């Protein structure tokens, strides 16, 4: 065996492409969209590298054109879940023992494949299956996933370099291994990259993984498996098992070798799984690591001194990009009455120009929400506001699901800070504004801090430095990602590690060293070059 100390390439963020009309990128992307729209893909499970079809088959539909089926995926039954666990445990032995440079190389190669050959197809898949416009798809499924894979490889090397001190005569070593068991990854629909990272991060450090994607994102998530396979990921390291969430989860959580849960999704599901893990605790060989990034009710708090145009842009982009289906989306805004009329005019001027429709028409800023369930939930909040004496729908409020699940960007004006849409996560294109008297600054800030159970993202808009300092300090535990004079969305790997606390999750910061540590077992080894030869200590003489 040959040796050397190798350095992982130092990552930079993947540049975002524009796809402007007439560009080669646009041409290739449109080709990919056409290709995918005109075929019906069969999406099997992948267990131990084998492609498996079962008796249960579900369609992958286009949310902005719900009569269009672009594929069918197969659902795992109990038998396949057991197979996936066995396969993850079996593959782990060799994978964990593999020198780090080889494990890292798989993910670095996957990132390169995504940046080149797969770029257009991955974007097209996310655009069609999850109704994301090209920009939203590019920053997610291509750039963020590339960043996750390149930065994680680099961070892991830094972890391995963290070593204990060794006084004379002793060599202390910190050894980093995978967890003792397998990791279960459960991903949401709204970011393709999150699925790739939830499965990829534990795998990179040497774990075997069972990955259950969201049913509405199976189409694009399967492509990640194809890319990883092409990049040389050994069979069985990640096992892809779409299907009924409860059935799969119950089997996984009952397994004695269940060692870690890597989750992103709603708060209620995370809480119920945490409880089940607690109930099963006697069954496990070791205490499982639990990492969950969950819901948000993200705020913008504006001060009179703020740049009002910048605030209006942050409201529009922050609340309506990807139809508000970002965990970080702005969904409640506190604006002083002295500037509200101007901010309202500016944001309405922008909102009047927003076009809504399918992703194939590149002029559309807003597309469809993910499915009928989301459509029903979001529109029920709009209807509630329409009929309430405590609020008024001041922009949008219309919706139509005859062709696709379309909901207009909607703005609600609330008379109270505790109105339902100021408090609950809606996860749709709905922004609620509370207008406050500047005399009530402190009470309004208090309502912003304590008004919801979440603490994911938030933004402060102010020019006055004393106010910025005051808000930053007061909102310390209100957002894991705080923005000053910027929208609360759009975290970039390596720049703003992402995650929140309270009901927003365990705040283990996806795409950072902190997250990778959760999938690692450490061993401290002391080697004594000069062991004592008598048991007595000097004080005894
Ligand atoms: P969801 O909770 O409906 O689903 C998330 C995943 O959990 C899916 O794979 C789903 O199949 C699975 N699931 C559902 N019920 C389950 C059960 N009983 N047992 C086990 N698994 C189950 O969420 P979603 O609609 O896919 O995503 C939206 C939610 O995710 C929002 O609340 C959003 O804020 C959150 N989110 C958070 C972050 C973050 O980083 N904090 C990022 C993206 C999304």
- Domain ranges within the chain, ordered by starting residue: 27-294+505-525, 298-484
Q: Is the pLDDT of residue 177 over 90?
A: yes
Distance 202 CA to ligand 1 centre (A): 19
For the purposes of burial, counting CB atoms within 10 Å of the CB of 401, is it exposed (0-12), middle (13-18) or buried (19 or more)?
Answer: middle
The phi and psi torsions of 260 (rounded to 5 degrees) equal: -165, 150
pLDDT at 198: 98
- Dump pLDDT digits (tens) for 138-173: 999 999 999 999 999 999 999 999 999 999 999 999
Q: Which of 76, 130, 265 to mutate to test the pocket of ligand 1 (most atoms within 8 A of CB)?
A: 265
CA–CA gap between residue 473 and residue 465 (Å, rounded): 12
Q: Enter the DSSP assignment of 144.
A: I
Q: Is the pLDDT of residue 196 over 80?
A: yes
Cβ–Cβ under 8 Å, residues 431 and 319: yes
Q: Which helix (H) or strand (E) holds 336?
A: strand 330-336
Task: Answer yes or no: CATH 3.40.50.300 is held by domain 298-484.
Answer: no
Q: Is the pLDDT of residue 337 over 80?
A: yes
CA–CA gap between residue 286 and residue 313 (Å, rounded): 49
DSSP annotation string for 43-58: E-EEETTEEE--S-EE
Q: Provide the pLDDT confidence category of residue 299 given band limits of 50, 70 and 90.
A: very high
Distance 113 CA to ligand 1 centre (A): 28
pLDDT at 2: 79
Q: Does residue 14 have its Cβ closer than 6 Å to ligand 1?
A: no
Which atom, in ligand 1's list, is nearest to the CA of 188? Answer: 26
Marked catalytic residue, from 8, 60, 306, 327? 327
pLDDT at 416: 98
CA–CA gap between residue 325 and residue 191 (Å, rounded): 9
Q: Which residues lie across from 41 on neighbouring strands?
A: 71
Q: Does residue 427 have its Cβ closer than 6 Å to ligand 1?
A: yes
Residue nearest to atom 30 of ligand 1 (CA): 265
Cβ–Cβ under 8 Å, residues 491 and 144: no
Distance 132 CA to ligand 1 centre (A): 18
Cβ–Cβ under 8 Å, residues 489 and 317: yes
Q: Is the pLDDT of residue 476 over 80?
A: yes
Strand 406-407 relative to strand 399-400, pairing: antiparallel
Exposed e or buried b for every residue in 123-134, given b needs 16+ CB within 10 A?
bbbbbbbbbbbb
Query: Residues 353, 354, 360, 362: is their CA dihedral positive or negative?
Result: positive
CA–CA gap between residue 238 and residue 222 (Å, rounded): 12
| Helices 267-279 and 245-253, packing angle to 10 deg | 30
Task: Indicate if 24 belongs to the active site.
Answer: no
- Dump pLDDT digits (tens) for 390-424: 999 999 999 999 999 999 999 999 999 999 999 99
Side-by-side strand order, sheet with 50-52: 50-52, 45-47, 238-240, 208-212, 182-186, 258-264, 289-293
Task: Indicate if 327 belongs to the active site.
Answer: yes
Distance 200 CA to ligand 1 centre (A): 18
Which atom, in ligand 1's list, is nearest to the CA of 191? Answer: 43
Distance 460 CA to ligand 1 centre (A): 27
Q: Provide the pLDDT confidence category of residue 3 given band limits of 50, 70 and 90.
A: confident
Marked catalytic residue, from 257, 293, 321, 408? 293
Q: Provide the pLDDT confidence category of residue 461 given band limits of 50, 70 and 90.
A: very high
Distance 254 CA to ligand 1 centre (A): 21
Domain 27-294+505-525: give its CATH code: 3.40.605.10
- Dump pLDDT digits (tens) for 370-397: 999 999 999 999 999 999 999 999 999 9
Q: Does residue 277 have its Cβ closer than 6 Å to ligand 1?
A: no
pLDDT at 97: 96
Exposed e or buried b for every residue in 418-443, given b needs 16+ CB within 10 A?
ebbbbbebbbbbbbbbbbbeeeebee
Q: Over pLDDT 90: what percentage of the chain?
A: 99
Q: Does residue 291 have its Cβ closer than 6 Å to ligand 1?
A: no
- Dump pLDDT digits (tens) for 83-142: 999 999 999 999 999 999 999 999 999 999 999 999 999 999 999 999 999 999 999 999
Cβ–Cβ under 8 Å, residues 434 and 332: yes
Q: Which of 248, 266, 369 to mutate to test the pocket of ligand 1 (most atoms within 8 A of CB)?
A: 266
CA–CA gap between residue 289 and residue 522 (Å, rounded): 13
Which atom, in ligand 1's list, is nearest to the CA of 248? Answer: 20
Q: Does residue 98 have its Cβ closer than 6 Å to ligand 1?
A: no
Per-residue pLDDT, averaged over 314-330, amounts to: 98
**CA neighbor of 121 nearest in space, from 230, 232, 48:** 230
Q: Which helix (H) or strand (E) holds 262?
A: strand 258-264
Q: Does residue 131 have its Cβ closer than 6 Å to ligand 1?
A: no
Residue nearest to atom 10 of ligand 1 (CA): 214
CA–CA gap between residue 462 and residue 482 (Å, rounded): 13
Which atom, in ligand 1's list, is nearest to the CA of 327? Answer: 34
CA–CA gap between residue 129 and residue 68 (Å, rounded): 10
Distance 131 CA to ligand 1 centre (A): 17
pLDDT at 424: 98
Q: Which of 188, 220, 240, 405 to mutate to test the pocket of ligand 1 (most atoms within 8 A of CB)?
A: 188
Q: Enter the DSSP assignment of 242.
A: -
CA–CA gap between residue 195 and residue 141 (Å, rounded): 10
pLDDT at 95: 98
Q: Which helix (H) or strand (E) holds 292?
A: strand 289-293
Q: Which residues lie across from 411 on neighbouring strands?
A: 395, 431
- Dump pLDDT digits (tens) for 263-284: 999 999 999 999 999 999 999 9
pLDDT at 201: 98
pTM of the model: 0.98
Q: Is the pLDDT of residue 1 over 80?
A: no
pLDDT at 94: 98
pLDDT at 277: 98
Distance 537 CA to ligand 1 centre (A): 59
CA–CA gap between residue 288 and residue 261 (Å, rounded): 7
The phi and psi torsions of 531 (rounded to 5 degrees) equal: -65, 150
Q: Is the pLDDT of residue 182 over 80?
A: yes
Q: Is the pLDDT of residue 213 over 90?
A: yes
Which atom, in ligand 1's list, is nearest to the CA of 293? Answer: 41
Q: Does residue 491 have its Cβ closer than 6 Å to ligand 1?
A: no
Instruction: Provide the 3-class DSSP secondary structure of residue 428.
Output: coil
Q: Does residue 414 have its Cβ closer than 6 Å to ligand 1?
A: no
| 275 Cβ contact partners less than 8 Å away, ≥ 6 residues apart | none
Q: Does residue 190 have its Cβ closer than 6 Å to ligand 1?
A: yes
Could you list the beta-strand ranges (E) of 456-532: 457-461, 481-484, 501-502, 520-528
Distance 109 CA to ligand 1 centre (A): 29
Per-residue pLDDT, averaged over 232-237, amounts to: 98
Distance 188 CA to ligand 1 centre (A): 5
Per-chain mean pLDDT for the chain:
98
Q: Does residue 261 have its Cβ closer than 6 Å to ligand 1?
A: no
Query: Residues 210, 216, 218, 223: is their CA dihedral positive or negative?
Result: negative
Q: Does residue 187 have its Cβ closer than 6 Å to ligand 1?
A: yes
Cβ–Cβ under 8 Å, residues 175 and 124: no
Cβ–Cβ under 8 Å, residues 296 and 426: no
């Amino acid at each position: 065996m040959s040796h050397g100390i190798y350095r992982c390439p130092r990552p930079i963020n993947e540049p975002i492409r524009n796809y402007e009309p007439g560009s080669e990128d646009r041409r290739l992307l449109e080709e990919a969209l056409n290709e995918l729209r005109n075929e019906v893909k069969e999406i099997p499970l992948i267990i131990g590298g084998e492609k498996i079809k079962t008796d249960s088959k579900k369609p992958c539909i286009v949310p902005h054109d719900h009569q269009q089926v672009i594929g069918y995926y197969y659902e795992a039954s109990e038998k396949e879940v057991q197979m996936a666990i066995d396969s993850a445990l079996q593959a782990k032995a060799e994978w964990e023992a593999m020198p780090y440079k080889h494990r890292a190389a798989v993910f670095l190669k996957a990132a390169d494949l995504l940046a080149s050959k797969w770029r257009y197809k991955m974007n097209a898949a996310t655009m069609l299956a999850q109704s994301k416009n090209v920009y939203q798809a590019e920053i997610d499924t291509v750039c963020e996933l590339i960043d996750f894979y390149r930065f994680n490889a680099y961070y892991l090397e830094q972890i391995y370099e963290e070593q204990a001190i060794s006084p004379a005569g002793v060599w202390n070593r910190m050894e980093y291994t995978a967890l003792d068991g397998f990791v279960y990854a459960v991903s949401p629909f709204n970011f393709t990259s999150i699925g790739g990272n939830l499965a990829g991060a534990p795998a990179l450090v040497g774990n075997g993984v069972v990955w259950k994607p969201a049913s509405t994102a199976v189409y694009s998530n399967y492509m990640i498996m194809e890319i990883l396979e092409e990049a040389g990921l050994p069979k069985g390291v990640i096992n892809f098992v779409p299907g009924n969430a409860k059935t799969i989860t119950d089997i996984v959580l009952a397994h004695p070798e269940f060692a870690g849960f890597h989750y992103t999704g709603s708060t209620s599901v995370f809480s119920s799984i945490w409880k089940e893990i607690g109930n099963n605790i006697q069954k496990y060989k070791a205490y499982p690591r639990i990492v969950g990034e969950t819901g948000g009710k993200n705020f913008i708090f504006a001060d009179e001194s703020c740049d009002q145009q910048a605030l209006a842009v942050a409201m529009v982009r922050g609340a309506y990009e990807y139809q508000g289906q970002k965990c970080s989306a702005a969904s409640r805004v506190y604006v002083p009455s002295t500037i509200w009329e101007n901010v309202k005019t500016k944001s309405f001027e922008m909102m009047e120009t927003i076009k809504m429709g399918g992703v194939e028409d590149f002029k559309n800023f807003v597309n469809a929400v993910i499915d009928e369930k989301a459509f029903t939930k979001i529109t029920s909040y709009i209807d509630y506001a329409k009929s309430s004496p405590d609020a008024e729908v001041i922009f949008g409020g219309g919706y139509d699901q005859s062709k696709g699940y379309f909901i207009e960007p909607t703005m609600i004006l609330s008379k109270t800070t505790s109105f339902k849409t100021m408090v609950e996560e809606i996860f749709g294109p709905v922004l609620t504004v509370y207008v406050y008297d500047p005399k009530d600054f402190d009470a309004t800030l208090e309502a912003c801090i304590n008004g919801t159970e979440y603490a994911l993202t938030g933004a402060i808009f102010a020019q006055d430095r004393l106010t910025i300092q005051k808000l930053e300090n007061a909102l310390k535990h209100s957002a894991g990602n705080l923005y000053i004079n910027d929208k609360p969305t759009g975290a970039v790997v390596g720049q703003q590690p992402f995650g929140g606390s309270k009901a927003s999750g365990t705040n283990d910061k996806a795409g950072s060293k902190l997250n990778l540590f959760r999938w690692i077992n450490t061993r401290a080894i002391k080697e004594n070059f000069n062991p004592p030869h008598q048991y007595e200590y000097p004080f005894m003489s």
